[in-house]
Structure 1
């Protein structure tokens, strides 16, 4: 796993020096501590070795069109000769690549038969030669996770691409006569004169979704290349296109999966997922697995152990608050599977690492499970360099509890108008309920409140942190005016349109695959793992598995309101009975408890600090009311307060002068 960065220019004035390229590359050192290198089309020999002794103070740009590429390497495969940037035989094609290609050995054999000569054993060189053969279509042959950039000197064009499910990130900025790209936004900010103007629309999107979705970025003029997209920058023009879409059309017309029974689907699932795990165990460094004690991670760990001749290292992390602690289930799964298990616990002192968290995530990111994920990556890296995870199982196989609410709401939509009006009456919202958001009455009130809007917007109302009305109530008048008629819901509504013909539950899972999965779950895991130079591989996100799941009828995924039924049945030999029947817990953080106790001072010190008030984004009285209602047990605003806290800390990290701590507080070893 690696960090990549670079630029392409079409005017000599926008040429960047090798020293700037080195700064852009060095800020990604955590993604690749083992090696670094660069390419610059204006340097004799073009290849650059970054070092303190290697200065480019006398550099003079001379090309009107050119490129510079930077790379930080985490060595996983071909430890000795996999240095990047890497070129073809005649030095006309150069690549920087972040990720892993799991079918590279098969592609390599094919390319050798076509006459290509290889200098390394790396998967990166396979991409170079595949590009020579197939051009930009080469990404359609790649099975894996990737973000890549290729400088084609013959055509004088820069080609970029991102993997199908969005496991690896790629930011870019297009300005007059230059396109710049990087694995992380902070790399682009190393370019002299880089603008840091905040996009008000991005703030609105962040509060709606708890992340800034693609193609937006928190800063104006910066973007994210969406998953399953490729881009060509040539003659000063940028062309972006989608190259893959999950096949969510009706199973009856999907000839790729002509299965007629649940047994056939189950057999295909067992074979496809097993193969996905097997090829992800290719590595020249130690491997392990995250093990939460849920269905998905237990299946992955079980398949790994079945293909290993020694105990697989597994890792879990928990909290001293019982309802957020899954370690007992992970322990039970590890015992049944025979893994070498390691477990840790995180306490409120973990919040000491918040400034560091803001630095690594580059943008406001309010999924609080980033905290345990960061710590889990830290402790896992102490034992292994690669870890497999169960990410993607919930979205692909209808595992979230909210999908049951979606299914139930379809029944509501078929009721007569008078019955729908009665169920959505405001009187139900006035009934008393527990302050806890997950209490039964609170969930019922939230469910009924969402029934008054169309199904697509209803779903966002259920899963969002701040709905449209609450966001606009929070905003200061001047900030609200900047938003004009911007509709943050449109990101989700557009995703629904990519799957128009299936039942609404399947459409909703398809929407999550294209929004919540890449923008939240995979961003969280990529940043947390790369912060500690850990490669994380997700077998469920192999596109063969994803295509199988997309085509599968909902009745095999969800049975009697319970999701992931086919996963449980297919892999029951790997799952303890208690895990097969347990309720889904999720990888949550006890913020509700922490904010009313140990972290109470943090709310006042950060959210009501004069720096925060001077930004004039929020009405101070509205912020004070949120804090008061939470502390007085009137409402659980912990997720909303966390979002505001994360946003303000991002401002302090990237727009205010602060010092970034260079380490994380250690978790407690159990």
Structure 2
């Protein structure tokens, strides 16, 4: 996991600008800093060392003069090496991205299994950029005259440039010659699973494989544990398949003193034999850290901020012990875990679920990436492996609706019967901001963060009317972070 910057310009070089931009995402990679001009492209990389600690520094080059800067992880890089027809020079998983881009084949890009955003350049002036199909890893870009610039975060760009910045679309690649083109779609029309028992078995097998892939690395790997179903299942699989020689699995939980999440997480950790860590926070800490959270997330959406604060504090804690954590993002979108989905017509629900998965890069995945990388910590999301995304679409929608005990995600719970205590396996869902105690804190503290007597009459230029006093406060923090952006375009980055 890293921060990347790339500036392509056939007319002039931009090394000074590149270094300025790279310095602004230095928090994403505290272990290394490298740059190189390759043909018409300046490449910059700030590294969080996870795989091939000795030889994985970037920009990373090939024997024939291609160079890459990459952010993310390619989990199947070992499998791809066997059939690549390419002489690998390192053990770095990022070299699999370099090999795929060098081949010029969209099929090779589509075979990359993981989370990634990368730019590859050659001395002959060619360049290619690509982002993973779910957009787990962020990438922004701007095209200004002869210059095309890329960066991992919006804040990397100069204030005068930000009004023109766009999000690079997930699942696409770009080159000056061919423009934007999709190399992998999230949607599938493969035949439905034939029986409920087959669906349960396939869910269990696919999820176990996905978690095991994401335990890859040459550094300690931990888990964010809320005590809810999704993160508890991640922890259960990790505990079952952990390599004892690498030490215990570390789990991390955050919340207010009496929050339900902390109590449930302790129970899961005790049951699984994890080395558990807690971050207990109070109202003063929440109010103090809010500007940092809104700024690093580059979003003011209240539900994201409420969940972002505990995760931000949790990341700060975890980064002192591990460099990688697995999280439970994505399960609700795949298996209809939200209460509001129950009211949607069955024929429309399948489309709503895939649309919600496609939109995660602007919501939960954005929050997950930013709050962890603010502390040089890599977050991995096993529920969003492509095998599970495709499998979920093959499961008839009726099987995803509440059945056993009236609980959502019954299929997922049934798939792991016996892996967790029954009260945890069937624990009712709470939003992370609720279970951690953040929602209660912000209801009490809203007057401190937005003290306006008539807050409903106050608006931040360029943004929608705030729906609450709390949202107004976050909008102000968001605008401060993006200082210099023209009001008419500020709203484009509300959830981008």
- After TM superposition, the score normalised by the length of structure 2 is 0.89
Indicate whether 1:2 and 2:28 are aligned: no
Indicate whether 1:104 and 2:74 are aligned: no
Rounded Cα–Cα distance in structure 2 between residues aligned with 1:149 and 1:286: 28
Rounded Cα–Cα distance in structure 1 between residues aligned with 2:463 and 2:137: 33
Match of 2:493 in 1: none
Given the alignment, which residue of 218, 227, 245 partners 2:185? 245
Q: Within 5 Å, which residues of 2 pair with 1:501-512?
A: 503-512=347-356
Conserved? CA contact 1:32–1:533, under 8 Å: yes
Indicate whether 1:381 and 2:319 are aligned: yes
Give 1:264 shift. Answer: 1.3
Computing the radius of gyration over CA atoms, which structure comes out larger, 1 or 2?
A: 1
Match of 1:664 in 2: none
Indicate whether 1:117 and 2:60 are aligned: no
Match of 1:584 in 2: 429
Rounded Cα–Cα distance in structure 1 between residues aligned with 2:416 and 2:137: 28
Give 1:278 shift. Answer: 1.1
Conserved? CA contact 1:291–1:297, under 8 Å: yes
Give 1:157 shift. Answer: 2.8
Match of 1:40 in 2: 37
Against the structure 1 CA distance between its residues 568 and 649, is the aligned structure 2 distance closer, same or farther, given a 3 Å change threshold?
same
Rounded Cα–Cα distance in structure 2 between residues aligned with 1:296 and 1:597: 29
Match of 1:651 in 2: 479
- After TM superposition, the score normalised by the length of structure 1 is 0.67
Deviates more, 1:287-296 or 1:598-607: 598-607
Conserved? CA contact 1:400–1:563, under 8 Å: yes
Match of 2:197 in 1: 263
Rounded Cα–Cα distance in structure 1 between residues aligned with 2:217 and 2:269: 22
Match of 1:452 in 2: none
Q: Deviations over 1:261-284 (max 9, x none)?
A: 111111111111111111111110
Conserved? CA contact 1:314–1:341, under 8 Å: yes
Match of 2:489 in 1: none
Give 1:605 shift. Answer: 6.2
Match of 2:115 in 1: 145
Against the structure 1 CA distance between its residues 33 and 596, is the aligned structure 2 distance closer, same or farther, given a 3 Å change threshold?
closer
Given the alignment, which residue of 377, 384, 390 partners 1:547? 390
Rounded Cα–Cα distance in structure 2 between residues aligned with 1:127 and 1:75: 16
Rounded Cα–Cα distance in structure 2 between residues aligned with 1:36 and 1:80: 14
Q: Deviations over 1:488-537 (max 9, x none)?
A: xxxxxxxxxxxxxx82122211111111x221100000000100111111
Rounded Cα–Cα distance in structure 2 between residues aligned with 1:594 and 1:282: 37
Give 1:131 shift. Answer: 2.6
Q: Deviations over 1:528-574 (max 9, x none)?
A: 01001111111111101111112111222223363211110010112
Give 1:300 shift. Answer: 0.8
Match of 1:161 in 2: 130
Gaps of 5+ in 2: 486-496
Rounded Cα–Cα distance in structure 2 between residues aligned with 1:618 and 1:390: 31
Match of 1:444 in 2: none
Task: Compute the RMSD of aligned alpha carbons.
Answer: 2.6
Match of 2:408 in 1: 563
Q: Within 5 Å, which residues of 2 pair with 1:206-605?
A: 219-234=162-177, 239-249=179-189, 254-255=190-191, 259-308=193-242, 309=244, 310-320=247-257, 322=259, 325-349=260-284, 350-366=286-302, 367=304, 368-406=306-344, 410=345, 503-515=347-359, 517-560=360-403, 562-588=407-433, 593-594=440-441, 597-604=444-451
User: Could you say what secondary structure the match of 2:338 adopts?
Assistant: coil
Conserved? CA contact 1:607–1:644, under 8 Å: no
Q: Deviations over 1:272-315 (max 9, x none)?
A: 11111111111100111111111111111000000122531111
Match of 2:491 in 1: none
Conserved? CA contact 1:3–1:71, under 8 Å: yes
Against the structure 1 CA distance between its residues 586 and 141, is the aligned structure 2 distance closer, same or farther, given a 3 Å change threshold?
same
Give 1:606 shift. Answer: 11
How many residues align structurally? 475
Conserved? CA contact 1:298–1:574, under 8 Å: no
Against the structure 1 CA distance between its residues 166 and 600, is the aligned structure 2 distance closer, same or farther, given a 3 Å change threshold?
same
Give 1:575 shift. Answer: 2.4
Match of 1:453 in 2: none
Match of 1:206 in 2: none
Q: Deviations over 1:190-236 (max 9, x none)?
A: xxxx526xxxxxxxxxxxxxxxxxxxxxx5321101222222224xx
Give 1:136 shift. Answer: 4.4
Deviates more, 1:134-143 or 1:562-571: 134-143
